[in-house]
Structure 1
Amino acid sequence: MSLDLTDIGLVTAVVVIAALFWRSHGIRERALIYTRRFCQREEVEFLDDTVGLEKLALMKDRHGKRRITRIYRFEFTVTGGERYPGHTYVQGGHVQRVELPPHRYTPPPERVH
C-alpha cells in the first residue's frame, strides 16, 4: 500500500480541521468560565450555563491591529422574570470584555439586626 499526494493532502486537511475544532472548543470553554464568573461578580444570574457563538468579526485590538474576534451570546436575569442578552468578546483566545445591556436592578434586601 502506497500513499500518493492526494492521500497525504486529505489526511493533512482532516488533521488541520480537527485541530481548528479543538482550539475553537477550548476558546469557547474559556469564554464560558469567564462569563460565569463575570455574572457572579455583577450579581446577575447566568442563564442556561452556556455561551453560543453569534458571529466572527474583524475588530481592532487595543493596539489598533485588526484581529478575528469571536462574539459569544448568553442570557442573564436579575429578577428571574426577564431574560437579557449579553455578549462576550474573545480575541486570540483571550476574553477582551463582557457586555451587559441596561437592565433592571433590584438591590439586595436590607439586613435586620
Structure 2
Amino acid sequence: MNLQLQDLLLVTAVVVIAALFWRAHGIRERALAVTRRYCERQELEFLDDTVGLERLTLDKDRHGKRRLTRIYHFEFTVTGGERYSGRTYVQSGMVQRIELPPHRYTPPPEQLH
C-alpha cells in the first residue's frame, strides 16, 4: 500500500474535523447538564430539554485574554404558560455564567399563606 502525501493530508483533515465535532458535542452536553441543574435550583421548568448554539464569539477571560466563547440559547417557564429565553455562556469548555431575563416569580403553594 503506497500512501501519497495528498492521501495523508486528507485523512488528517478528516480526523481533525471529527475531533472538533466531538469536542463541540461534549461542550454542548456539559452546557446542557449545567443549565438543567441551574433551572432546577431556581425552581424553573427547563423547556424542551435542550440548549442550542446561538453564536460563537471572542470574549476576554478573567485574565484579559481573548477566548472562544460559545453562547447557547434555552427556554424556561415559571408558570407553565409563559416561555422565557435564557443564555448559557461557555468559555474554554467551562460554563462561565447563565443569564435569565426578568421573569414572573410564582412562590410555591406553601408560601402563599
TM-score in terms of structure 2 length: 0.96
Identity of aligned residues (%): 79
Q: Tell me what 2:55 maps to.
A: 55
Q: Does 1:40 align with 2:40?
A: yes
Structure 2 distance, partners of 1:50, 1:73, is 9
Structure 1 distance, partners of 2:100, 2:3, is 54
User: Which deviations, in whole Å up to 9, do the C-alpha atoms of 1:54-76 show, x marking residues without a partner?
Assistant: 00000111111110000000000
What are the ranges of 5 or more consecutive residues in structure 2 without an aligned counterpart? none
Structure 2 distance, partners of 1:34, 1:16, is 27
Q: Tell me what 1:6 maps to.
A: 6
Q: Tell me what 1:105 maps to.
A: 105
1:80 is paired with a residue whose SS is coil
User: Which deviations, in whole Å up to 9, do the C-alpha atoms of 1:2-55 show, x marking residues without a partner?
Assistant: 111100000000000000000000000000000000000111100000000000
Q: Tell me what 1:75 maps to.
A: 75
Structure 1 distance, partners of 2:106, 2:25, is 35
Structure 2 distance, partners of 1:39, 1:23, is 24
Structure 2 distance, partners of 1:47, 1:53, is 16
RMSD over aligned Cα, in angstroms?
A: 1.2
1:85 is paired with a residue whose SS is strand
Stretches of 4+ moved more than 3 A in 1? Answer: none
Number of residue equivalences: 112
1:73 is paired with a residue whose SS is strand
| Amino acid in the other structure paired with 1:105 | Y
2:48 is paired with a residue whose SS is strand
